[in-house]
Amino acid sequence: MKLFEESKIGMLSLKNRLWRSATWLGMANKDGYVTDAVKKQYKKLAEGGVGSIIVEFTNILEEEKTYPGILSISSDSHIEGLKELADIIHSNNTHAFIQVGYGGSTTSIPENGRVILGPSAVKNPGSGITPVEMTEKDIEKIIEAMAQAALRAKKAGFDGVQIHAAHGYLYSQFLSPYFNRRMDKYGGSIKNRGRIFIETLKRMKTTAGSDFPVFIKMHSDDEWAENGLSAEDSLWIAKELEKHGIDGIEFSGGNIDPQSGNGASKPKLHKVEKQSYFKDQVSKIAAHLHVPVILVGGNRNVKLMEDILNHSNIRYFALSRTLHAEPDLPAKWLTSPEHKPRCVSCNNCWAEGGNICIIDRKKEKQI
């Protein structure tokens, strides 16, 4: 098998096995609407040759403000702009998906009197925010908002939707023993901690249609000892999602505790042996699954990815920082597989006013 070959997921025909992993750009307006800057960035990505694009983490509730400049899909008024975005992506024979979720206490915006929900009232080690413990009514509100977001994504012309259940946001918190200390049916055993996942998937499929693809991004392992999601529990919930019709799983890892040193975006990846850094734990989980598995995290070498492709049950590879630096990286790899990405994994993509490669930011200042 090769990276640059056609494949199918359900009824979707994908032109290659490369995905753009959902990555916050910070370029939407203050109300979460699509701007010209957002459209410009996704046009570059679609023209760059990647097979599928997952549009960045998008708010499902109007009162939710996870990050500055984050997109929203919280009301029907956002559909028009999102449709323009999907059309731009599709015009380049690229599939368009959109990621939806609730940030909760993993946010960079101060509380300022707003209510921030969490599975339990536990202080977030990253933001320092202690959320309000959710009632079952709150959980129902989130599930319904996720379902309505899926329906809006369908109306906007996207090929599918992705649940964000990784990187310390609300859904990943439900799986974590550190964040989830509930004593009701949503806490305790992995079955209970994963209940919101199954209920959300079922509601999305009922609301948007059973044929509308729903993917999920989750962790293979939080690398956080007893505080985090274990590989065993990750496999359990992945198999349950598979039973209930999930269309594909993108696996990440790491945690948001700055003291652990095990974040999801690892630096200094110039050596091949440090790349595709979640491959071992994801390969073990993928061996037990039938749904398509997407690997994210340090994928930047064609030979290594094709080796993983042919010696594991991982079938797709998602890129984030590398496409921040080089939107046309897939096109370069297609003609020159030995091409070394410009990205050096410095993690300096993120800045006020829009998240782009630090090299491009410096060039803009010089103009």
Mean pLDDT of 340-365: 82
State whether residue 297 is helix, strand or coil: coil
Q: Which residue in the block uniquely carries the two structure tokens 């570059």?
A: 44
List, for residues 98-111, the tens digit of each pLDDT value.
999 999 999 998 88
- Structural domain harbouring 188: 7-366
Which of 42, 67, 102, 169 is the catalytic position?
A: 169
Flag whether 124 is in a domain.
yes
Closest CA to 295 of 234, 332, 360, 248: 248
Burial of 161 (0-12, 13-18, 19+ CB in 10 A): buried
CA–CA separation, 171 and 190 (whole Å) = 13
CA–CA separation, 294 and 282 (whole Å) = 9
CA–CA separation, 304 and 270 (whole Å) = 13
Number of domains present in the structure of the chain: 1
Q: What is the mean pLDDT of the chain?
A: 95
Burial of 129 (0-12, 13-18, 19+ CB in 10 A): middle
- The encoded tokens of residue 76 equal 């029907």
DSSP output for 346-366:
------TT----HHHHHHHHH
- What share of the chain has pLDDT > 90, as a percent? 87
Return the pLDDT at 291.
98
Flag whether 243 is in a domain.
yes
Return the pLDDT at 363.
66
Statement: residue 359 has pLDDT above 80: yes
* Total residue count of the chain as it appears in this document: 367
DSSP output for 206-230:
HHH-TTS-EEEEEES--S-GGGS--
Statement: residue 126 has pLDDT above 80: yes
Strand partners, 132: 117
Flag whether 1 is in a domain.
no
Return the pLDDT at 251.
98
Higher pLDDT, 35 or 353: 35
- Which phi and psi angles does 284 have, rounded to 5°? -65, -40
Contact 98, 83 (CB under 8 A): no
Flag whether 119 is in a domain.
yes
Residues 6+ apart with CB under 8 A from 283: 308, 312, 313, 314
Flag whether 183 is in a domain.
yes
Flag whether 280 is in a domain.
yes
Write the CATH number for 13: 3.20.20.70
CA–CA separation, 159 and 6 (whole Å) = 17
Mean pLDDT of 4-33: 96
Return the pLDDT at 366.
53
Instruction: Report how far apart, in Å, the C-alpha atoms of 127 and of each of 109, 154, 203, 214, 257 are.
Output: 9, 33, 30, 29, 9
- The encoded tokens of residue 123 equal 């202080």
Contact 234, 220 (CB under 8 A): yes
pTM of the shown model: 0.97
CA 258 and chain centroid, separation: 20
What confidence tier does 135 reach under pLDDT thresholds 50, 70, 90?
A: very high
CA–CA separation, 125 and 227 (whole Å) = 12
Longest dimension (CA), the chain: 58
Return the pLDDT at 164.
98
Beta-strand pair 117-118/132-133:
parallel
Catalytic residue check, 169: yes
List, for residues 210-233, the tens digit of each pLDDT value.
999 999 999 999 999 999 999 999
Statement: residue 322 has pLDDT above 70: yes
State whether residue 134 is helix, strand or coil: coil
Flag whether 2 is in a domain.
no
Mean pLDDT of 34-48: 97
